[in-house]
Structure formats: structure tokens, C-alpha cells
Amino acid sequence: MSEPLTSASLAWRLGDGLRYGSLGLPLAFCALPLYVLMPNLYAREWGVPLAALGAVLLGARLLDAVIDPLLGRLVDALFAKSLSAVLRMGAAAACLLGLGFSALFLPQMREPSALLWWAGIWLVVTYAAYSALSVAHQAWGAMLGGDAVYRSRVVAWREGLGLVGVLLAAVTPVLLGIPAMLSLLLVGLIGGWWCWRLAPTPKVAPARLRLNDAGVWQPWRNARFRRLLGVYLLNGIASAVPATLVLFFIQDRLQAPESMQSVALGVYFACGALSMPWWLRAVKRFGLVRTWRLGMGLSILVFAGASQLAAVDANAFLWVCAGSGVALGSDLVVPGALLAGVITDAGERGRSEGAYFGWWNFATKLNLALAAGIALPLLAWLGYVPGAQDANGLAMLTAAYCLLPCALKAMAMGGLQFFIIQPDAKAHTP
């Protein structure tokens, strides 16, 4: 491991970013294949009933979300012991993650009912390993401390390389096949963990780390955390709704060819990654909260424009993907840096990062579930039928894809003003 950071060494160099952020690539690499590729493989190639497979995926994900705060507490206990203990746990989690992910795509049986059990077991293992590794990695970054610009750089490297992982996960199975995808993941996990152990270490020495007595519920005693988490949830649902509906919008509203789907997603994630340096400059100039509001405002403008698209505007939709991808950059850079600041300001740095990020990741996963739980039943109730060209149904699809996120983003912007900016201003008034 490198030497612990001190107040005089809070410069964030290119090498620091690569060493810390590299693990974000294989971690993000895991998401898309499990949500898109695996269900298609099990249902289309091996005859697993789609409804049963969906139930298994949902159950495993719900269990994963519930155990995140507990894993966060475990991470805090390991930090209290030593940074080496955290790295050893990270190595074990990386091994389990690679094993579980490979087992899901290389099952040892083909009978549908047996495959359901196989998928359920290995999904639980994979999700738990992923959560433990990601919470430890996030907590490590938060413990590095620093000012708003420094914290945002730490988060940007982790999330930016994560977007690279998403892109690799999208193209590798198509171009090179599943064995190549698995090999790339394993190499990424080994390399990412090795780089992590060489990354800057928290400036709070392990000997000073102590667990508080509040346990897993400690973050909820922090009013600033509760307010920030509320805004994060609202903004996250606003982002997850179009993510849930994008394929329906491309297929039915735009009537675009199937190839448009991969191009649109590629433009979205690429623009998100490329926008990171710009958002870091914005943080330096405007601060974290106002930069986040700027990103929310950009997202509202983009989706308001998307509401005017018709079937003849399929190519113009790529500009929507580019603009929303740029807005995505602020959602990736700012909230994690704000959370690190909340932990530091509460005097809990070096004590409870795991618990905070455990609940943070729980909220992240809840966003996706709530988005699907809100948008899909709402569309069905309003008369939208996938594949049908009913004018009223398409209008409802457009409203759900474009206007609902705008309303939720506007509410999140209001939440930033009334629950973050104003309370903080009062707290700093002499």
C-alpha cells in the first residue's frame, strides 16, 4: 500500500486516479450482462420460463439490497481492524464475484428447473460479493477526505472508469463472445484489486479507527444525511424511469431499427464518461450543490426536447442520448462527493463510512425498483401496449419517458434548495 495521505499531500494525480478508480471498471462491468444478457440466454437458449426467471432475479436483488447496510457495518469493522483487513476482504469478495459471475454464464446443467435453482444460488453469491467489494471501495474513497474538488475527483475516477466498464460489457459479448467477456472480467478484478492496494490510503491511521455504538442505524441519526438521501432517491428515480422505458420509446415511439438501441446506449454512456472533466471544472467554480442543480436543469431541458420527437426523428434522438449522457456525469460526480462531505462534517470520518455507503447503495438499488414499479404499471393503466401503434398509448409513453422525469428532476432541484442549501446556510450563519 502507498503511504497514508496527509493534509500536505492532497494533490490528486493521474496515477492516483487510475490506481483507485480501476476497480470501478470490473464492478460496473457486472451490471449489464446480468440484467440483459443472462435473462435472454437462459430463456432463449435453455428454455427457462421468463416469469420464473424474473421472480428469481427480483428475489435475489431484493435480498441484495437488504443486506447492503449489514455489509456496510462489516466494512466498518474491518476498517477498525486495519486497512490490510479491508484489502483481504476485498480480495475474497473479488474471487467470489468472479466465481459467481462465471457460474451464471457457464452453468453445469441445462434442465430448466435445475437452472432456476442454479441461477438463484449464484445470483445471491454474485450480488453479495459485488456489494461487499463496492461498499469497501466507496468507503475507502470517502475516507481520503479533502475539499469538495478533491472528493469529486476521487468519485469521478471511480465512476468514469465504471462507465468504461459498462461500454466494454455491452460490446464484448457481441464482438468476442461470452468466454472473452468472462476472461475480461477476471482480468479486470485482479488488476483492479492490485491497483487498489497501491492507491492512496486514508490519512486517518488504522490505529485511530474506532467503531461507534450506533451500529448499522448510525447514518439515520444524521439529519444532513437524511435530507441528502431523500434528494438522491428522488433524482435517482427520475433517472431510472427513462432507463426503464428507453427501449419501448425507441421501438414504438421512434420506430427505429434494432441497431439504434445499441448506438443510443453507447452514445449515452460515452458522453457520460467524456463529460467528467467538465463537471469537475464546474465543481471547482460553482461548488458541489450548484453543479448538481446545473446537471438536473440540463436533464430537464433534454427530456423536454425529447417529448417533441416523432417517428421521423430517430436520428435526432442521438442528441437526446448525448445530452442526457452529459447530465449523467453530474449525477455520478456530485452525490458521492456530497456524501463524503456529510460524513466528514459529522465527525464520523474513519468510523462509519461503510454504514453510510451501505444505506446509499440500498437507495441506489431501490431507485431502479421504484422506477419500474411506478412507470410500468402507470403505462399499463394509461393504455400503453408494447408493440401497438395506438395514438393515445404512444402519447402516454412519451409522457412517462420524457415528462415524468422532468417533473421528478424539478422536485429534486427544489429539494436541493429547501433541504440542502437553506439548512446549510442557516447552520453557517453566525
User: Do residues 269 and 167 touch, judged by C-beta distance below 8 A?
Assistant: yes
Residue 305 half-sphere exposure toward CB, CA atoms < 13 A: 16
- The region, left, alpha or beta by phi > 0 then psi within -120 to 50, assigned to residue 6 is beta
Q: Is the pLDDT of residue 234 over 60?
A: yes
The residue out of 184, 203, 222 marking a domain boundary is 203
The residue out of 150, 172, 203 marking a domain boundary is 203
- Per-residue pLDDT averaged across 82-109, rounded? 93
pLDDT value at residue 250: 87
Could you give the number of structural domains in the chain? 2
217 and 199 in one domain? no
In a domain, residue 104? The reply is yes
- Per-residue pLDDT averaged across 94-113, rounded? 90
Q: Pick from 70, 42, 71, 37: which is nearest to 56 by CA?
A: 42
Q: Which three cell numbers stand for residue 79?
A: 476498517
Query: Can you give the CATH number for the domain in which 279 is found?
Result: 1.20.1250.20
- The region, left, alpha or beta by phi > 0 then psi within -120 to 50, assigned to residue 215 is left
- The region, left, alpha or beta by phi > 0 then psi within -120 to 50, assigned to residue 252 is alpha
193 and 243 in one domain? no
* Average pLDDT for the chain: 84
The residue out of 139, 169, 203 marking a domain boundary is 203
CA separation for the pair 352, 293 (Å, rounded): 28
pLDDT value at residue 4: 44
pLDDT digits (tens, 9 = 90+) for 29-42: 887 787 767 777 78
In a domain, residue 7? The reply is no
419 and 303 in one domain? yes
pLDDT band at 245 (very low <50, low <70, confident <90, very high): confident
pLDDT band at 133 (very low <50, low <70, confident <90, very high): very high
Q: Is the pLDDT of residue 67 over 80?
A: yes
